[in-house]
Chain A
Amino acid sequence: MVKHLTKETFHEAINQDKLVMVDFWAEWCGPCRMLGPVLDDIASTLADKVSVCKVNTDLEQELAVRYNISSIPCVIYFRNGEPLRASLGFKPKENFVKEIEELTAK
Protein backbone atom coordinates (compact mmCIF):
# COMPACT_ATOMS: atom_id res chain seq x y z
CA MET A 1 0.00 0.00 0.00
CA VAL A 2 1.37 3.39 -0.98
CA LYS A 3 1.18 5.90 1.88
CA HIS A 4 0.23 9.50 1.18
CA LEU A 5 2.23 11.81 3.41
CA THR A 6 1.57 15.30 4.73
CA LYS A 7 4.00 17.59 6.50
CA GLU A 8 2.63 16.23 9.77
CA THR A 9 3.21 12.57 8.94
CA PHE A 10 6.37 12.99 6.85
CA HIS A 11 9.00 13.00 9.58
CA GLU A 12 7.84 9.80 11.23
CA ALA A 13 7.41 8.02 7.88
CA ILE A 14 10.98 8.63 6.72
CA ASN A 15 12.58 7.96 10.07
CA GLN A 16 12.68 4.21 9.75
CA ASP A 17 15.63 1.88 9.55
CA LYS A 18 13.93 0.45 6.47
CA LEU A 19 14.42 1.99 3.03
CA VAL A 20 11.66 4.49 2.21
CA MET A 21 10.88 5.75 -1.31
CA VAL A 22 9.06 9.08 -1.44
CA ASP A 23 7.51 10.09 -4.76
CA PHE A 24 6.99 13.85 -5.12
CA TRP A 25 4.18 14.25 -7.67
CA ALA A 26 1.29 16.42 -8.84
CA GLU A 27 -2.10 15.82 -10.42
CA TRP A 28 -1.29 17.88 -13.51
CA CYS A 29 1.93 16.00 -14.25
CA GLY A 30 1.58 13.31 -16.95
CA PRO A 31 4.66 11.23 -16.18
CA CYS A 32 3.73 11.32 -12.46
CA ARG A 33 0.40 9.69 -13.23
CA MET A 34 2.18 7.09 -15.35
CA LEU A 35 4.44 6.28 -12.45
CA GLY A 36 1.44 5.61 -10.19
CA PRO A 37 0.79 2.00 -11.27
CA VAL A 38 4.53 1.25 -11.25
CA LEU A 39 4.84 2.38 -7.62
CA ASP A 40 1.70 0.48 -6.64
CA ASP A 41 3.31 -2.63 -8.08
CA ILE A 42 6.56 -2.04 -6.17
CA ALA A 43 4.64 -1.38 -2.95
CA SER A 44 2.93 -4.74 -3.19
CA THR A 45 5.77 -6.90 -4.48
CA LEU A 46 8.72 -5.42 -2.56
CA ALA A 47 6.99 -4.54 0.69
CA ASP A 48 9.66 -6.38 2.68
CA LYS A 49 12.47 -4.27 1.19
CA VAL A 50 10.98 -0.81 0.84
CA SER A 51 8.19 1.41 2.06
CA VAL A 52 6.55 3.41 -0.75
CA CYS A 53 5.15 6.88 -0.01
CA LYS A 54 3.88 9.85 -2.01
CA VAL A 55 3.81 13.60 -1.46
CA ASN A 56 1.47 15.76 -3.51
CA THR A 57 3.59 18.84 -4.21
CA ASP A 58 0.55 21.08 -4.79
CA LEU A 59 -0.86 20.27 -1.35
CA GLU A 60 2.45 20.05 0.51
CA GLN A 61 4.47 22.94 -0.87
CA GLU A 62 6.58 23.25 2.26
CA LEU A 63 7.89 19.70 1.81
CA ALA A 64 8.54 20.31 -1.90
CA VAL A 65 10.56 23.42 -1.09
CA ARG A 66 12.42 21.71 1.75
CA TYR A 67 13.74 19.07 -0.65
CA ASN A 68 14.35 21.51 -3.52
CA ILE A 69 11.89 19.84 -5.88
CA SER A 70 11.79 21.61 -9.24
CA SER A 71 11.17 18.75 -11.62
CA ILE A 72 8.69 15.95 -11.10
CA PRO A 73 8.23 13.10 -10.69
CA CYS A 74 11.09 13.04 -8.22
CA VAL A 75 11.62 9.96 -6.09
CA ILE A 76 13.87 10.40 -3.07
CA TYR A 77 15.11 7.37 -1.15
CA PHE A 78 15.45 7.81 2.62
CA ARG A 79 16.79 5.75 5.48
CA ASN A 80 16.64 6.92 9.11
CA GLY A 81 15.53 10.33 7.93
CA GLU A 82 18.54 10.83 5.64
CA PRO A 83 18.07 11.32 1.88
CA LEU A 84 20.27 8.78 0.10
CA ARG A 85 19.54 9.23 -3.55
CA ALA A 86 17.13 10.95 -5.91
CA SER A 87 15.63 9.64 -9.12
CA LEU A 88 14.07 12.01 -11.63
CA GLY A 89 11.37 11.30 -14.15
CA PHE A 90 9.46 8.22 -15.18
CA LYS A 91 11.43 4.98 -15.16
CA PRO A 92 10.31 1.43 -15.84
CA LYS A 93 9.84 -0.80 -12.79
CA GLU A 94 13.07 -2.72 -13.47
CA ASN A 95 15.12 0.45 -13.04
CA PHE A 96 13.59 1.14 -9.63
CA VAL A 97 14.04 -2.48 -8.57
CA LYS A 98 17.74 -2.20 -9.43
CA GLU A 99 18.04 1.00 -7.38
CA ILE A 100 16.28 -0.64 -4.45
CA GLU A 101 18.56 -3.68 -4.65
CA GLU A 102 21.61 -1.42 -4.65
CA LEU A 103 20.38 0.54 -1.65
CA THR A 104 19.46 -2.56 0.35
CA ALA A 105 22.61 -4.57 -0.41
CA LYS A 106 24.48 -5.42 2.78
Chain B
Amino acid sequence: MTQNTMIDNFDIAVIGSGPAGLAAAINLKIRNKRFILLGYPQLSHQVEVSVLIDNLLGFPNIKGSDLNKAWKNHLEAMDIRIVDDRVRQVYTNVFDEKHVVACRNGDYIVRSVIIAAGIIRNNLIPGESELLGQGGVSYCATCDGMFYKGKKVVIFGTTEDAVHEAEYLCEVASEVVFIASAKVKGTVSASNCTQMRGKPVKILSENGKFTAVEMFDGTQIEGAALFIIKDAAGPSYLVPGIEAENDSIHVDADMRTNIRGIFAAGDCTGKPWQLMRAMGQGQIAALNSVRYLDEENYWSGL
Protein backbone atom coordinates (compact mmCIF):
# COMPACT_ATOMS: atom_id res chain seq x y z
CA MET B 1 0.00 0.00 0.00
CA THR B 2 1.60 3.28 -1.02
CA GLN B 3 1.47 6.37 1.14
CA ASN B 4 -2.03 7.66 0.65
CA THR B 5 -2.89 11.35 0.62
CA MET B 6 -4.28 12.41 3.97
CA ILE B 7 -7.34 14.62 3.63
CA ASP B 8 -8.59 16.47 6.66
CA ASN B 9 -11.11 18.99 5.44
CA PHE B 10 -14.11 17.02 6.60
CA ASP B 11 -15.50 16.52 10.08
CA ILE B 12 -17.83 13.62 9.30
CA ALA B 13 -17.62 10.71 6.88
CA VAL B 14 -20.79 8.91 5.77
CA ILE B 15 -20.10 5.46 4.37
CA GLY B 16 -22.84 4.23 2.06
CA SER B 17 -25.19 5.73 -0.51
CA GLY B 18 -28.36 3.80 0.21
CA PRO B 19 -31.37 5.24 2.07
CA ALA B 20 -29.55 5.46 5.44
CA GLY B 21 -26.48 7.21 4.06
CA LEU B 22 -28.52 9.60 1.92
CA ALA B 23 -30.87 10.53 4.77
CA ALA B 24 -27.81 11.21 6.92
CA ALA B 25 -26.21 13.33 4.20
CA ILE B 26 -29.27 15.50 3.70
CA ASN B 27 -29.55 16.22 7.39
CA LEU B 28 -25.83 16.98 7.71
CA LYS B 29 -26.08 19.38 4.80
CA ILE B 30 -28.98 21.20 6.40
CA ARG B 31 -27.01 21.44 9.66
CA ASN B 32 -24.11 22.91 7.68
CA LYS B 33 -21.51 20.33 8.57
CA ARG B 34 -18.41 19.53 6.48
CA PHE B 35 -19.02 15.94 5.50
CA ILE B 36 -18.00 13.50 2.80
CA LEU B 37 -20.46 10.97 1.42
CA LEU B 38 -18.69 7.84 0.16
CA GLY B 39 -20.60 5.39 -1.96
CA TYR B 40 -21.79 4.37 -5.39
CA PRO B 41 -23.03 7.26 -7.58
CA GLN B 42 -25.72 4.95 -8.94
CA LEU B 43 -27.07 4.59 -5.36
CA SER B 44 -28.52 1.39 -3.93
CA HIS B 45 -28.52 -1.62 -6.21
CA GLN B 46 -31.13 -3.35 -4.05
CA VAL B 47 -33.50 -0.41 -4.42
CA GLU B 48 -32.83 -0.20 -8.15
CA VAL B 49 -33.90 -3.77 -8.72
CA SER B 50 -37.00 -3.60 -6.49
CA VAL B 51 -39.90 -3.82 -8.90
CA LEU B 52 -42.57 -2.50 -6.55
CA ILE B 53 -42.23 -1.05 -3.07
CA ASP B 54 -45.57 -1.21 -1.28
CA ASN B 55 -44.77 0.14 2.16
CA LEU B 56 -43.05 3.49 1.65
CA LEU B 57 -45.34 6.03 3.31
CA GLY B 58 -46.86 8.39 0.75
CA PHE B 59 -45.64 6.42 -2.26
CA PRO B 60 -47.78 3.29 -2.72
CA ASN B 61 -46.34 0.87 -5.28
CA ILE B 62 -43.39 3.00 -6.30
CA LYS B 63 -40.79 1.41 -8.54
CA GLY B 64 -37.34 1.10 -7.00
CA SER B 65 -35.68 2.77 -9.96
CA ASP B 66 -38.07 5.74 -9.65
CA LEU B 67 -37.18 6.04 -5.99
CA ASN B 68 -33.47 6.09 -6.81
CA LYS B 69 -34.16 8.78 -9.41
CA ALA B 70 -36.03 10.87 -6.85
CA TRP B 71 -33.12 10.50 -4.42
CA LYS B 72 -30.62 11.50 -7.08
CA ASN B 73 -32.68 14.61 -7.82
CA HIS B 74 -32.87 15.48 -4.15
CA LEU B 75 -29.09 15.22 -3.76
CA GLU B 76 -28.54 17.37 -6.84
CA ALA B 77 -31.01 19.98 -5.60
CA MET B 78 -29.00 20.19 -2.37
CA ASP B 79 -25.64 20.07 -4.11
CA ILE B 80 -24.55 16.90 -2.33
CA ARG B 81 -21.93 14.89 -4.16
CA ILE B 82 -21.28 11.17 -3.80
CA VAL B 83 -17.56 10.46 -3.74
CA ASP B 84 -16.98 7.26 -5.68
CA ASP B 85 -14.11 5.84 -3.65
CA ARG B 86 -13.91 2.39 -2.08
CA VAL B 87 -13.52 2.35 1.70
CA ARG B 88 -11.00 -0.26 2.79
CA GLN B 89 -11.08 0.08 6.55
CA VAL B 90 -11.83 2.62 9.26
CA TYR B 91 -9.08 3.07 11.85
CA THR B 92 -10.59 4.56 14.97
CA ASN B 93 -9.08 6.98 17.47
CA VAL B 94 -5.73 7.10 15.73
CA PHE B 95 -4.83 10.75 16.41
CA ASP B 96 -6.50 12.85 19.14
CA GLU B 97 -9.86 11.12 18.91
CA LYS B 98 -9.86 11.41 15.14
CA HIS B 99 -10.65 8.49 12.88
CA VAL B 100 -9.06 7.57 9.57
CA VAL B 101 -11.31 6.35 6.77
CA ALA B 102 -8.79 4.62 4.50
CA CYS B 103 -9.96 4.49 0.90
CA ARG B 104 -8.43 3.45 -2.39
CA ASN B 105 -7.68 7.06 -3.37
CA GLY B 106 -7.11 8.80 -0.08
CA ASP B 107 -7.26 8.63 3.70
CA TYR B 108 -9.92 10.90 5.21
CA ILE B 109 -9.26 12.12 8.75
CA VAL B 110 -12.56 12.88 10.45
CA ARG B 111 -14.00 13.31 13.92
CA SER B 112 -17.08 11.21 13.36
CA VAL B 113 -18.17 8.40 11.04
CA ILE B 114 -21.65 7.20 10.13
CA ILE B 115 -21.55 3.63 8.86
CA ALA B 116 -24.45 3.06 6.48
CA ALA B 117 -22.86 0.32 4.44
CA GLY B 118 -25.89 -1.98 4.21
CA ILE B 119 -25.72 -5.73 4.50
CA ILE B 120 -23.44 -8.11 2.67
CA ARG B 121 -25.34 -10.23 0.31
CA ASN B 122 -22.54 -12.34 -1.03
CA ASN B 123 -21.80 -15.70 0.49
CA LEU B 124 -18.42 -16.59 1.84
CA ILE B 125 -16.46 -19.30 0.08
CA PRO B 126 -16.02 -22.32 2.38
CA GLY B 127 -12.67 -21.81 4.12
CA GLU B 128 -12.60 -18.05 3.61
CA SER B 129 -13.07 -16.76 7.15
CA GLU B 130 -10.91 -19.45 8.74
CA LEU B 131 -7.92 -18.65 6.54
CA LEU B 132 -8.24 -14.85 6.47
CA GLY B 133 -5.04 -13.27 7.75
CA GLN B 134 -2.27 -15.68 8.72
CA GLY B 135 -3.83 -18.47 6.70
CA GLY B 136 -2.90 -16.90 3.38
CA VAL B 137 -6.25 -15.40 2.41
CA SER B 138 -6.41 -11.62 2.13
CA TYR B 139 -8.94 -9.01 1.06
CA CYS B 140 -6.34 -6.51 -0.03
CA ALA B 141 -3.61 -7.06 -2.59
CA THR B 142 -1.85 -3.75 -2.05
CA CYS B 143 -1.75 -4.45 1.70
CA ASP B 144 -0.40 -7.98 1.71
CA GLY B 145 0.95 -8.58 -1.80
CA MET B 146 4.55 -7.79 -0.86
CA PHE B 147 4.79 -10.93 1.23
CA TYR B 148 4.40 -13.03 -1.88
CA LYS B 149 7.11 -11.38 -3.93
CA GLY B 150 8.38 -13.80 -6.53
CA LYS B 151 5.70 -16.38 -5.77
CA LYS B 152 2.57 -17.53 -7.57
CA VAL B 153 -0.70 -16.11 -6.26
CA VAL B 154 -4.38 -16.48 -7.01
CA ILE B 155 -6.82 -13.58 -7.01
CA PHE B 156 -10.58 -13.90 -7.19
CA GLY B 157 -12.57 -10.74 -7.86
CA THR B 158 -16.19 -9.74 -8.31
CA THR B 159 -15.66 -6.02 -8.93
CA GLU B 160 -13.71 -3.81 -11.34
CA ASP B 161 -11.39 -2.94 -8.43
CA ALA B 162 -10.12 -6.49 -8.71
CA VAL B 163 -8.53 -5.62 -12.04
CA HIS B 164 -6.38 -2.93 -10.37
CA GLU B 165 -5.46 -5.26 -7.53
CA ALA B 166 -4.52 -7.99 -10.03
CA GLU B 167 -2.35 -5.57 -11.98
CA TYR B 168 -0.53 -4.65 -8.80
CA LEU B 169 0.03 -8.30 -7.99
CA CYS B 170 1.51 -8.86 -11.45
CA GLU B 171 4.28 -6.41 -10.55
CA VAL B 172 5.10 -8.20 -7.32
CA ALA B 173 4.33 -11.90 -7.78
CA SER B 174 6.04 -14.20 -10.26
CA GLU B 175 2.74 -15.47 -11.61
CA VAL B 176 -0.87 -14.41 -11.09
CA VAL B 177 -4.04 -16.36 -11.81
CA PHE B 178 -6.91 -13.89 -11.92
CA ILE B 179 -10.33 -15.51 -11.56
CA ALA B 180 -12.90 -12.88 -12.52
CA SER B 181 -16.61 -13.30 -11.92
CA ALA B 182 -19.05 -12.64 -14.75
CA LYS B 183 -19.63 -9.00 -13.75
CA VAL B 184 -16.00 -7.97 -14.22
CA LYS B 185 -15.42 -6.26 -17.55
CA GLY B 186 -11.74 -5.26 -17.36
CA THR B 187 -8.78 -7.39 -18.34
CA VAL B 188 -5.20 -7.53 -17.16
CA SER B 189 -2.58 -7.35 -19.89
CA ALA B 190 0.54 -8.35 -17.93
CA SER B 191 2.45 -11.28 -19.39
CA ASN B 192 2.62 -13.14 -16.08
CA CYS B 193 -1.14 -13.14 -15.60
CA THR B 194 -3.65 -15.79 -16.63
CA GLN B 195 -7.19 -14.44 -16.52
CA MET B 196 -10.22 -16.70 -16.40
CA ARG B 197 -13.95 -16.51 -15.66
CA GLY B 198 -15.54 -18.34 -12.78
CA LYS B 199 -15.91 -18.54 -9.05
CA PRO B 200 -14.09 -20.81 -6.62
CA VAL B 201 -16.41 -23.19 -4.80
CA LYS B 202 -13.96 -24.23 -2.12
CA ILE B 203 -10.71 -23.06 -0.58
CA LEU B 204 -8.20 -25.82 0.17
CA SER B 205 -5.59 -25.67 2.87
CA GLU B 206 -2.97 -27.68 4.70
CA ASN B 207 -1.84 -27.06 8.27
CA GLY B 208 -3.93 -23.91 8.39
CA LYS B 209 -2.36 -22.39 5.27
CA PHE B 210 -3.95 -21.82 1.89
CA THR B 211 -2.86 -24.24 -0.82
CA ALA B 212 -5.39 -23.99 -3.66
CA VAL B 213 -8.89 -23.04 -4.78
CA GLU B 214 -11.25 -25.58 -6.28
CA MET B 215 -13.46 -24.57 -9.18
CA PHE B 216 -16.92 -25.85 -10.10
CA ASP B 217 -15.55 -28.43 -12.52
CA GLY B 218 -13.15 -29.81 -9.94
CA THR B 219 -10.00 -28.18 -11.26
CA GLN B 220 -7.66 -26.88 -8.59
CA ILE B 221 -5.55 -23.77 -8.87
CA GLU B 222 -2.60 -23.65 -6.51
CA GLY B 223 -0.84 -20.64 -5.12
CA ALA B 224 1.02 -19.20 -2.16
CA ALA B 225 -1.90 -16.90 -1.32
CA LEU B 226 -5.47 -16.12 -2.27
CA PHE B 227 -6.73 -12.56 -2.63
CA ILE B 228 -10.48 -12.08 -2.64
CA ILE B 229 -11.66 -8.72 -3.93
CA LYS B 230 -15.35 -8.12 -3.46
CA ASP B 231 -17.92 -5.40 -2.90
CA ALA B 232 -18.15 -5.49 0.83
CA ALA B 233 -16.70 -7.11 3.84
CA GLY B 234 -18.53 -7.38 7.15
CA PRO B 235 -18.52 -4.59 9.77
CA SER B 236 -15.87 -6.30 11.91
CA TYR B 237 -13.42 -6.13 9.00
CA LEU B 238 -14.51 -2.64 7.92
CA VAL B 239 -14.22 -1.15 11.42
CA PRO B 240 -11.88 -3.23 13.59
CA GLY B 241 -13.02 -3.22 17.18
CA ILE B 242 -16.68 -2.49 16.48
CA GLU B 243 -19.22 -4.52 18.41
CA ALA B 244 -21.36 -6.55 16.06
CA GLU B 245 -23.16 -9.87 16.08
CA ASN B 246 -23.76 -11.83 12.88
CA ASP B 247 -22.66 -8.77 10.94
CA SER B 248 -25.24 -6.52 12.65
CA ILE B 249 -23.60 -3.57 14.36
CA HIS B 250 -24.82 -2.92 17.91
CA VAL B 251 -26.27 0.57 18.29
CA ASP B 252 -28.20 2.32 21.04
CA ALA B 253 -31.28 4.45 20.46
CA ASP B 254 -29.00 7.32 19.39
CA MET B 255 -27.37 5.11 16.75
CA ARG B 256 -24.10 5.16 18.74
CA THR B 257 -21.79 2.15 18.41
CA ASN B 258 -19.31 1.06 21.07
CA ILE B 259 -16.63 3.30 19.58
CA ARG B 260 -16.63 6.98 20.45
CA GLY B 261 -17.65 9.16 17.51
CA ILE B 262 -18.79 6.21 15.38
CA PHE B 263 -22.47 5.83 14.49
CA ALA B 264 -24.22 3.23 12.37
CA ALA B 265 -27.55 3.30 10.54
CA GLY B 266 -29.68 1.19 8.23
CA ASP B 267 -29.46 -2.47 7.28
CA CYS B 268 -25.98 -2.80 8.79
CA THR B 269 -27.53 -2.42 12.25
CA GLY B 270 -29.83 -5.38 11.81
CA LYS B 271 -33.36 -6.38 10.98
CA PRO B 272 -35.89 -5.54 9.79
CA TRP B 273 -34.18 -4.59 6.55
CA GLN B 274 -36.59 -1.88 5.52
CA LEU B 275 -36.35 1.46 3.73
CA MET B 276 -38.16 3.60 6.28
CA ARG B 277 -36.17 2.16 9.15
CA ALA B 278 -32.95 2.93 7.27
CA MET B 279 -33.98 6.49 6.46
CA GLY B 280 -35.03 7.15 10.05
CA GLN B 281 -31.83 5.72 11.47
CA GLY B 282 -29.76 7.73 9.00
CA GLN B 283 -31.41 10.92 10.18
CA ILE B 284 -30.96 10.07 13.86
CA ALA B 285 -27.31 9.20 13.31
CA ALA B 286 -26.71 12.48 11.49
CA LEU B 287 -28.38 14.64 14.12
CA ASN B 288 -26.47 12.93 16.91
CA SER B 289 -23.22 13.12 15.00
CA VAL B 290 -23.79 16.88 14.94
CA ARG B 291 -24.41 16.83 18.71
CA TYR B 292 -21.20 14.85 19.16
CA LEU B 293 -19.24 17.54 17.30
CA ASP B 294 -20.96 20.46 18.97
CA GLU B 295 -21.59 19.32 22.53
CA GLU B 296 -18.60 18.47 24.68
CA ASN B 297 -20.34 15.99 26.98
CA TYR B 298 -22.65 14.33 24.50
CA TRP B 299 -20.91 10.95 24.23
CA SER B 300 -20.09 10.51 27.91
CA GLY B 301 -23.78 10.06 28.60
CA LEU B 302 -23.48 6.56 27.03
Q: A residues within 8 Å of B by Cβ? A: 26, 28-31, 34, 37-38, 68-72, 74, 86, 88-95
Contacts and interface: CB of A to CB of B under 8 A. Distances in A.
A29 B4 CA distance: 10
B102 A34 contact: yes
Nearest to B210: A70
B240 interface: yes
Given A89-B240, A92-B259, A31 B91 contact: yes
Contact of B4 (A26, A30, A71): A30
A71 B100 contact: no
Contacts of B100: 34
23 contacts: A28-B146, A29-B1, A29-B143, A30-B143, A31-B89, A31-B91, A34-B91, A34-B102, A37-B94, A38-B94, A70-B144, A71-B133, A72-B144, A72-B147, A74-B134, A86-B134, A88-B134, A89-B133, A92-B92, A92-B93, A92-B240, A93-B93, A95-B240
Given A37-B94, A93-B93, A71 B144 contact: yes
Interface in B112-147: 133-134, 136, 138, 143-144, 146-147
Contact of A91 (B136, B225, B240): B240
Interface residues on B, range: 20 to 34
A95 B143 contact: no
B273 interface: no
Given A88-B133, A90-B240, A92-B92, 20 more contacts: A26-B146, A28-B1, A30-B4, A30-B107, A30-B143, A31-B91, A31-B102, A31-B143, A34-B91, A34-B94, A34-B100, A34-B102, A37-B94, A37-B95, A70-B134, A70-B147, A72-B144, A88-B134, A89-B240, A90-B89
Contacts of B144: 70-72
B134 A95 contact: no
A69 B138 CA distance: 13
Nearest to A88: B133
Contact of B241 (A30, A68, A71, A91): A91
A90 B133 contact: no
The B interface is mostly helix, strand or loop, or mixed, namely: mixed
B95 to A, nearest CB: 6
Contacts of A72: 144, 147
Contacts of B102: 30-31, 34
A26 B144 CA distance: 10
Contacts of A89: 133, 240
Contacts of B92: 92
B111 to A, nearest CB: 15
Nearest to B147: A70
Contacts of B107: 30
B138 A71 contact: yes
A34 B2 CA distance: 13
A34 B133 CA distance: 18
A58 B134 CA distance: 18
Contacts of B146: 26, 28
A71 B134 contact: yes
